[in-house]
Chain A
Amino acid sequence: MSKKVITREEWEKRLNDVKIRKEDMNKLVMNFLVTEGYVEAAEKFRMESGTEPDIDLATITDRMAVKKAVQCGNVEDAIEKVNDLNPEILDTNPQLFFHLQQQRLIELIRNGKVEEALEFAQEELAPRGEENQTFLEELERTVALLAFEDVSNCPVGELLDISQRLKTASEVNAAILTSQSHEKDPKLPSLLKMLIWAQNQLDEKTTLLFERCQRSFCVKLRFVRHECLGVAPRPSPSCRSYGVIPGGCHGVAPRL
């Protein structure tokens, strides 16, 4: 295969030739606000930019109440709210229901209610574990939390992390969106993933001219990077993956 050299100038020119509509970017942002449940921001954005949301904003409020309940650790409350919204959501989604129950167990353990936690695990979760191997493993992992006095240092301590709540919350969020026949994920993250994917593919196909080609990409991506980091990093050999990959060049988790 012939090797292709893309100079920085050439690449800059191509980037300049790309025309992105403001209207489309506005829609992309609106889609993010709506899907992630920023209802007030979506309303403000509608007024400030004239972009119409692709879903009735009123439906966001209920969804957000559920999400928020999980984020605050009120899982029982969340389960009730989901059932008020649409009982089919949990009925048809055993995995989601298990994860909510698991989160409930985590909250009990977090609050030091050991006895209650044990009872809940045995009565509510264990029967589900029997039906499903993955559930069982998850249950065992969660119960292991009880074995540590200092959970901050234990191997399963991440379950108590705020990110676990966020994970569960976003799973509920997605299920409600699906039940409202709206896409469960915002489009923006997929596009960013697509960027990483496309760059990786170019990476593979242009191996031998890598030095220069990669440089031109790297430079281009580094503008993104130095906006983020506030410094202009020198091109380094560890920049191999065009720099956007998490954990790339500089030991600091780089952001797009």
Chain B
Amino acid sequence: MVNNQEQLGNILDLWQLGVGRGAEEEIVDMEDEEAVPTHLNTINSSGGFHVVSTDKLSVQYTSSNLHGHDVGVVQANCPAPAKRLVYYFEIFVKNAGQKGQIAIGFTNEHFKMRRQPGWEANSCGYHGDDGHLYRGQGKGEDFGPPFTSGDIVGGGINYASQQFFFTKNGELVGAINKEVKGDLFPTIAVHSQNEEVNVNFGQQPFVFDIEAYAAEERLKQQMTIEKKSLPLHVSHGIVRSYLLHYGYQDTLNSFDTASKSTIPPISVAQENGVSEQGDMYALSQRKVLRQLIRGGDIDSALVKLREWYPQLVQNDTSTICFLLHSQKFIELVRVGYLEDAVKYARAELSKFFEVTHLSYLLQDCLALLAYEEPLKSSVGYLLNVAQREVVADGVNVMVLSTDPSLKDSQNCLHSRLEKLLRQLTACCLERRLLNGNQGEAFNLHRVLHSTKRSKR
């Protein structure tokens, strides 16, 4: 007997992924969500030497400096986020004061708050008076030009190259290896009378084109990656097996006809002969079922299933039955036959309340009844065509699982494409983990939308 639960767990996951369909972008970004600095921290300040404005976005040195331990240092309210390609912020030097001893840089949480960033271990700073870069000791090194009143200076972390970089008035000044591990706070310091600095954590557009910088960095990585070679026609084979797996038969036929002239017959034959045999299983039946479900004709799909694969629908509280019955219910709501929908729910759906893992999905479905305009409600996603696809995919997997030649029932669950994408995602996450959890993870959704972004 086929184990419904095991086969369809994945499909139910996809259903839940669908819940966020309306706000897709946010969902994707949530995975890597981290706090982002928005203002200056006024609590851990060095006390007495400087004043932070009430909007916590500018700092002024109010006393007169006497020695090296009365620097006015402020950190951002939280560390720079690390699960991304780059982090960047800018300062505007409103007044260079008496000596122009302003610094921008990064420090960790144990930083001595009366010292210039860069003077102490685990910190780094670009100093305005001499244009030197300081990292971990009192002696600086030649780095860039000094900066003074009217200049806009930026500090950033490139997590891909593991470097700090600094900019002045929109131009890159230079980069230096980041030897400090762990969380780093954007930090600014003032150290002579009347020095005043405004900070921009991104609430205003930056003067430096950080998007272009990031794009360039991505391109660098891409160039390295593109050098890897692939076996010939491997993508072709993966696409083909995808079409087979999901039973997109018409597409597959067109694809095969068109590839005859370009793909040497040998590799297609190998593809057919060895790897795809299993997926060829019940191709035309799967195609018919998919078409019926995509067309919203659930009744016919059920009839066909009873005829072809009675074992799949024998148990009327199985997940596959739930998927189909709930979809039928959704279709009734879609066309506004609410009374019929209620009757149908009483006859076919109420029994699923006893199946724990399905009851909350059932609740979502029934909630459609509560709204005058269900499409606009929180469960409106159920009325999307994509929900039909979820059901069609579920039925497809169940039909594949009836293949008697199948040795491992898990094996039919995912297409080769999906397996490879999972492997890719997991590898990239592991790689980031080894990298102190810094840098960008792989995200298929972002990759697919990157073209649109760069066109903007």
Question: CB < 8 Å: which of A4, A253, A255 contacts B434?
Answer: A4
Whether B262 lies near A71 (C-beta < 8 A) is yes
Q: Compute how far the CA of A45 lies from the CA of B246 in the bound complex, rounded to whole angstroms.
A: 11
Closest residue to B451 on the A side, CB-wise? A183
Q: Find the A residue at minimum CB distance from B393.
A: A22
Interface locus among B91-99, B147-155, B182-190, B234-242 = B234-242
When distances are taken between beta carbons in the complex, the residues of chain B under 8 Å from A190 are: 222, 225-226
Contact partners of A162 in chain B: CB under 8 A: 264
Are A189's CB and B431's CB within 8 A?
no
* Contact A198–B251 (Cβ < 8 Å): no
Interface string of B1-42 (1 = CB under 8 A from A): 000000000000110010000000000000000000000000
Interface 0/1 of A201-222, CB less than 8 Å to B: 1100110000000000000110
| Proximity bits, A80-92, B CB within 8 Å = 1, else 0 | 0000000000000
B120-128, B253-261, B322-330, B344-352: which one contacts chain A? B253-261
Report A192 CB to chain B, min CB distance, Å.
6
Residues A193 and B225 in contact in the complex (CB < 8 Å), given A25-B417, A224-B416:
yes
Q: Given A20-B425, A256-B238, are A224 and B420 also a contact pair (CB < 8 Å)? A: yes
Interface residues of B in 402-447 (CB under 8 A from A): 411, 415-431, 434, 442, 444-445, 447
Q: Which of A6, A183, A195, A202 has the most CB of B within 10 A?
A: A195
What is the minimal beta-carbon distance from B394 to any residue of chain A, in angstroms?
A: 11
On whether the beta carbons of A18 and B239 are closer than 8 Å, the reply is no
Q: From known contacts A11-B426, A191-B424, A193-B225, infer whether A44 and B250 are also in contact, taking CB-CB under 8 Å.
A: yes
**Cβ of A233 to closest chain B Cβ, rounded Å:** 13
Q: How far is A238 from B239 in the complex, measured between Cα atoms in Å?
A: 29
Assess whether A98 is interfacial by the CB under 8 Å rule.
no
Residues in A whose Cβ lies below 8 Å from that of B376: none
- Give min CB distance, A51 to chain B, whole Å: 10
Describe B's contact surface by its main secondary structure: helix
CA distance A194 to B440 in the complex (A): 13
Tell me if B274 and A229 are in contact (CB < 8 A): yes
In the complex where A4-B434, A25-B417, A230-B274 touch, is A41 in contact with B251 (Cβ < 8 A)? Answer: yes
Cα A166 to Cα B230 with chains together (Å): 16
Q: How far is the CA of A23 from the CA of B27 in the complex (A)?
A: 14
Question: Are A25 and B262 in contact (CB-based, < 8 A)?
Answer: no
Q: Which of A4, A29, A47, A230 has the most CB of B within 10 A?
A: A29
A193 to B290, CA, bound (A): 32
Which residue from chain A places its CB closest to the CB of B385 in the assembled complex? Answer: A50
Query: Are A194 and B417 also in contact (CB < 8 A) when A50-B389, A256-B234 are?
Result: no
A116 at the B interface (CB under 8 A): no
> Is there a chain B Cβ closer than 8 Å to A148's Cβ?
no
**Residue B370 is within 8 A (CB to CB) of chain A in the complex:** no
The residue from A183, A206, A220 contacting B423, defined by CB atoms under 8 A apart? A220
In contact, A20 and B421 (Cβ under 8 angstroms): yes
Q: Give the residues in chain A near B419, CB-CB below 8 Å.
A: 223-224
The answer to whether the Cβ of A196 comes within 8 Å of any Cβ in the partner chain is yes
**Is there a chain A Cβ closer than 8 Å to B204's Cβ?**
no
Confirm or deny: B300 has a beta carbon within 8 angstroms of a beta carbon on chain A. Answer: no
Q: Mark interface residues in A160-186 (1 if CB within 8 Å of B CB, else 0).
A: 001000100000000000000101001
The number of chain A residues with a CB under 8 A from chain B is 68
Residue of A nearest to B13 (CB): A19
Which residue, of B232, B235, B251, B385, has the highest number of chain A Cβ atoms within 10 A?
B251
The residue from B250, B251, B275, B444 contacting A227, defined by CB atoms under 8 A apart: B275
Residue B231 CB within 8 A of the other chain: yes
Given A194-B424, A194-B442, A224-B420, check contact A41 B234 (CB 8 Å): no
Per the bound structure, the CA–CA distance linking A211 and B385 in Å amounts to 47
Chain A residues, CB < 8 A from B254: 38, 40-41, 43-44
How many residues on the B side are at the interface (Cβ–Cβ under 8 A)? 70
- Complex contact A38–B255 (CB within 8 A): yes
B73 → A minimal CB distance (Å): 33
Does A27 reach chain B (CB closer than 8 Å)? yes
> Does A193 contact B231, Cβ atoms closer than 8 Å?
no
In the bound complex, CA of A117 to CA of B431 (Å): 54
Separation of A164 and B418 alpha carbons in the complex (Å): 32
Tell whether B228 is near chain A: CB-to-CB under 8 Å.
yes
Within 8 Å CB of B314, what residues of A? none
Q: Are A192 and B420 closer than 8 Å at their CB atoms?
A: yes
A254 interface contact, C-beta 8 A: yes
Residues of chain B in range 339-362 having any CB-CB distance to chain A below 8 Å: none
Chain B residue with Cβ nearest A194: B225
Q: Min CB distance, B403 to chain A, in Å? A: 14
Q: Is B294 an interface residue (CB 8 A)?
A: yes
A74 within 8 A of B: no
Q: Which residues of A contact B257 (CB under 8 A)?
A: 40
Q: Which residue of B lies closest to A199 (CB)?
A: B427
Chain A residues whose CB sits within 8 angstroms of the CB of B54 once the complex forms: none
Q: Contact: B422 with A254, CB < 8 Å?
A: no
Say yes or no for B203: interface residue by CB 8 A criterion: no
Inter-subunit contact B422/A20 (CB<8 Å): yes
Cβ-defined partner of A6 (8 Å) among B246, B259, B430: B430
CB distance from B287 to the nearest CB of A (A): 8
Contact for B417 among A11, A29, A166, A229, CB less than 8 A: A29
User: Which of A48, A253, A256 lies in contact with B250, CB distance below 8 A?
Assistant: A48
* Cβ-based interface call for A151 (8 A): no
CB of B269 within 8 A of chain A? no
B386 at the interface (CB under 8 A from A): yes
Tell me how far the C-beta of A168 lies from the nearest C-beta in chain B, rounded to whole angstroms. Answer: 13
The answer to whether B445 touches A21 (Cβ under 8 A) is yes
| B423 and A221 contact, CB distance less than 8 A | yes
List the B side residues contacting A183 at CB < 8 Å.
Answer: 451
Q: Are A195 and B423 touching (Cβ within 8 A)?
A: yes
Judge if B66 is at the interface, Cβ distance under 8 Å. Answer: no
> For A29, what are the chain B residues with a Cβ–Cβ distance below 8 Å?
239, 242-243, 417
Please name 8 further chain A to chain B contacts, defined as beta carbons within 8 Å, in addition to the given A195-B427, A221-B423, sorted by A numbering.
A14-B426, A15-B422, A21-B14, A44-B253, A45-B243, A183-B451, A194-B225, A228-B275
Report 12 cross-chain contacts, Cβ distance below 8 Å, ordered by A residue.
Answer: A19-B13, A20-B444, A23-B389, A27-B448, A38-B255, A38-B259, A183-B451, A191-B444, A193-B230, A197-B225, A228-B275, A256-B231
Closest 3 A-B residue pairs measured CB to CB? A41-B254, A198-B427, A41-B255
